[in-house]
Amino acid sequence: MGTSPKVELSIPIIPDMELAATQTSEVVARHMGLGQDKSDEIKMALIEACINAFEHSKTEEGQVEINFTIEDNTLVIKVTDQGVGFDENTVKIPKIEQKIKSDHKRGWGLQLIKELMDTVEFESTDEGTTVTMTKKK
Amino acid sequence: MGTSPKVELSIPIIPDMELAATQTSEVVARHMGLGQDKSDEIKMALIEACINAFEHSKTEEGQVEINFTIEDNTLVIKVTDQGVGFDENTVKIPKIEQKIKSDHKRGWGLQLIKELMDTVEFESTDEGTTVTMTKKK
Amino acid sequence: MSDFQVSVKEVDDVVVIATDGYLNNIGGEKISDICDKHMEKGVNKFLINLEKTSVVNSIGVSILIEIIEKLQDTKGKLAYCKLAPIVEKTFNIMGLTKYSTIYKDEEAGLSDLSA
Amino acid sequence: MSDFQVSVKEVDDVVVIATDGYLNNIGGEKISDICDKHMEKGVNKFLINLEKTSVVNSIGVSILIEIIEKLQDTKGKLAYCKLAPIVEKTFNIMGLTKYSTIYKDEEAGLSDLSA
Ligand SMILES: Nc1ncnc2c1ncn2[C@@H]1O[C@H](COP(=O)(O)OP(=O)(O)O)[C@@H](O)[C@H]1O
Ligand SMILES: Nc1ncnc2c1ncn2[C@@H]1O[C@H](COP(=O)(O)OP(=O)(O)O)[C@@H](O)[C@H]1O
């Protein structure tokens, strides 16, 4: 095992398949010595990134790639789809006061990811999206 | 998603990393409609195949690949390492009567895999080993 | 982690829903259906015991916001208890706690809700 | 699935070891250490409650065979209870059940062992 262990996952769009990713992050987090709270935050962010790729990417390839790398004391997670892409800047920040009255109760995933992880970056074109998120020890 | 969904996992040799594979098999098994008993048998066989690759392959690459495919009503799992390989025919069938008195209590993995799965095949050269195991619905 | 299960009991005028498993869209819909059925009968206080639900997603939780909206018409109440830290954090980020209350356990929730 | 935990209690002349989590090499060693310490004090009946251990590997279970061997010198006994079906199947395939007994629950195990 090198200094930068890598875990690579390629999962099909199957209900609950995101749980394969969270189980993986849990093992990696434990290996890094991350506490339970941080591990749980990573799991939640990963679920949201996966279900976004499942639901919104419209990928024809039908697979979503998840990569984990441990760099020094930071876990770097990339979730990639080969779908239609989106512009992060057009996504509205959700507010509960509005959601309560709106027909559209959803739209929380990106917000949760940003709040739960240390850094989050989106690279998105019409050939797909990669979300890169990190959590420090 | 095509007719033959594929899950691909590449995991580093990290303690308990085999659990990332079992969580994946659990989701796939549920998706296929396999019962809990069969799903648990798959998990156990997968743990044994993974820890064999971890422990015995001496792979320099440091990664183990696990592939799941659903073919008709059969789950096909391949566990591949790029290690030193071994000759399955030289592995003795373990017997508890001998193990009790022996200094070498281990050596149960292959036996368990064979008993728990429907079919098991080993392809092994000095460039690595692939265990292919299947479970019918 | 497997299929989402619920068990329901009524304590005085409060419906207690105990969940088990991943609260995703399917789990959310199950809870919503139970609430709908009870609301039709005029019940409007619900306590969800999430002790055995350590994993949720935002789709499942969004469905709880739907329930909160429906309950506003009759001044009903939605409450939760036994939340795992990450579930509580998620509820806080999404702001559910502005419209519904988190209790430590069933006893605390029941004594406050049925008062 | 997380770290392997054990809790130990003594009931009459039987040591009951309740496990929680993945029984791998580390889990097996933990159980073995506990048995060793008690054997030094002359105790030779052990009941392992595996209710919260739904996943095992063959390395962890091999360590139980070591314990069985050690107990043979003093005509001691190793027993288990509350096994998940896959754990019971594994014990059967490996033949552990020829040298040690599976009980339904702690009560059944204790009443038989301490007799
Ligand atoms: N991987 C993706 N591919 C395409 N669009 C995406 C992707 N991830 C997010 N989006 C877009 O961003 C929006 C907001 O996502 P999110 O905050 O997770 O809420 P929700 O998934 O509930 O809509 C989505 O509705 C979708 O339009
Ligand atoms: N992936 C592998 N690469 C190299 N050798 C292997 C591999 N899998 C199994 N073996 C060989 O087969 C033997 C028997 O394996 P197994 O039955 O799982 O028992 P154990 O792992 O306890 O030795 C191992 O000791 C090893 O020599």
The model's pLDDT over B32-90, given as tens digits with 9 standing for 90+, comes to 999 999 999 999 999 999 999 999 999 888 899 999 999 989 999 999 999 999 999 99
User: How much is the average pLDDT of B114-125?
Assistant: 98
With 60 as the cut, is the pLDDT of residue A123 above it? yes
Q: Are A23 and A50 in contact (CB under 8 A)?
A: no
B53 lines ligand 2 (CB under 6 A): yes
Mutate to test the interface with C, among A17, A43, A46, A96 (most CBs of C within 10 A): A96
- Tell me whether residue A1 is in a domain: no
Confidence bin at A1 (pLDDT 50/70/90):
very low
Q: What is the pLDDT of residue A5?
A: 78
| Residue-range domain boundaries for chain C | 5-109
User: For the domain that residue B132 is a member of, what is the CATH number?
Assistant: 3.30.565.10
- Looking at residue B1, its pLDDT comes to 42
> Is any atom of ligand 2 closer than 6 Å to the C-beta of B113?
no
Chain C residue closest to A20 (CA)? C1
The minimum CA-CA distance between A26 and chain B, rounded to whole Å, is 8
Mean pLDDT of chain B: 94
Residue where the block lists tokens 């969800």:
C48
Which residue of A78, A86, A111, A125 sits with most ligand 1 atoms within 8 Å of its CB, as the best mutation to test the pocket?
Answer: A86
Rounded to the nearest angstrom, the minimum Cα separation between A42 and chain D is 16
* Per-residue model confidence (pLDDT) at position C1: 44
Q: Which domain holds residue B13?
A: 6-136
pLDDT tens digits along D16-55: 999 999 999 999 999 999 999 999 999 999 999 999 999 9
CATH of segment(s) D5-109: 3.30.750.24
- Residue C100 sits at the vertex; the CA angle it makes with A119 and A91, to the nearest 5 degrees, is 35
* Residue of D115, D47, D60 lying closest to D87 (CA atoms): D60
Of all ligands present, the nearest one to the C-alpha of A108 is 1
Closest C-alpha among B21, B25, B59, B35 to residue B134: B25
Tokens describing residue A81: 């789809």
Q: How far is CA C5 from the centre of its chain?
A: 13
- Could you tell me if A116 and A128 are in contact, meaning their C-beta atoms sit under 8 angstroms apart? no
Q: State how far residue A54 is from chain D, nearest Cα, in angstroms.
A: 26
Residue nearest to atom 14 of ligand 2 (CA): B107
Domain count, chain B: 1
pLDDT at A3: 55
Query: What would the pLDDT profile of A10-52 be if each residue is shown by its tens digit?
Result: 999 988 999 989 988 998 999 899 999 999 999 999 999 999 9
Confidence class of residue B3 from pLDDT cuts 50, 70 and 90?
Answer: low
Please give the structure tokens belonging to residue D19: 């496990």
Is A7 in contact with B8 (Cβ distance < 8 A)? no
Q: Which residues of C touch A (CB under 8 A)?
A: 1, 22, 24, 26, 54-59, 61-63, 65-66, 68-69, 72, 84-86, 89-90, 93-96, 98-99
Q: What is the pLDDT of residues D3-18, one digit of tens each?
A: 799 999 999 999 999 9
The pLDDT score that the predictor gives to residue B5 is: 78
Residue closest by Cα to atom 1 of ligand 2:
B53
Residues B38 and B28 sit within 8 Å (Cβ to Cβ): no
State pLDDT tens for residues A57-94: 998 888 999 999 999 899 999 999 999 999 999 999 99
Position D1 scores a pLDDT of 45
Q: Report helix, strand or coil for A6.
A: strand
The answer to whether A70 touches A30, Cβ cutoff 8 Å, is no
Q: Is residue B104 part of a domain?
A: yes
Q: What percent of chain D has pLDDT over 90?
A: 95
Instruction: Work out the number of other CB atoms within 10 angstroms of the CB of residue C21.
Output: 19
Q: Is B1 inside any structural domain?
A: no
**Residue B133 in this model has a pLDDT that exceeds 90:** yes
Query: A5 and B62 in contact by Cβ < 8 A?
Result: yes
Task: Supply the pLDDT for residue C114.
Answer: 87
Contacts of A19 in chain C (CB under 8 A): 1, 22, 55
0.95 cut: is pTM over it? Answer: no
Q: Closest ligand 1 atom, CA of A52?
A: 8
* Closest alpha carbon within chain A to B54: A1
Judge whether residue B14 has pLDDT over 50.
Answer: yes
User: Whose CA is closest to A100, among C68, C109, D88, B94?
Assistant: C68
In this complex, whether D and C touch, counting 3 or more CB pairs under 8 angstroms, is no
Residues lining ligand 1, CB < 6 A?
A 48, 52-53, 56-57, 81, 83-86, 91, 106-110, 129; C 58
Three-state SS for chain C is CCCCEEEEEEECCEEEEEEECCECHHHHHHHHHHHHHHHHCCCCEEEEEEEECCCECHHHHHHHHHHHHHHHCCCCEEEEECCCHHHHHHHHHHCHHHCCEEECCHHHHHHHHCC
Confidence class for position A117, pLDDT limits 50, 70, 90: very high
Written as six digits, the tokens of B134 are: 């299947």
Q: Residue range C43-68: average pLDDT?
A: 98
Supply angle C-alpha A106, A107, A112, rounded to 5. Answer: 115
Pick from A7, A15, A19: CB nearest B23: A19
Smallest CA–CA distance, residue A98 to chain B, in Å, is: 35
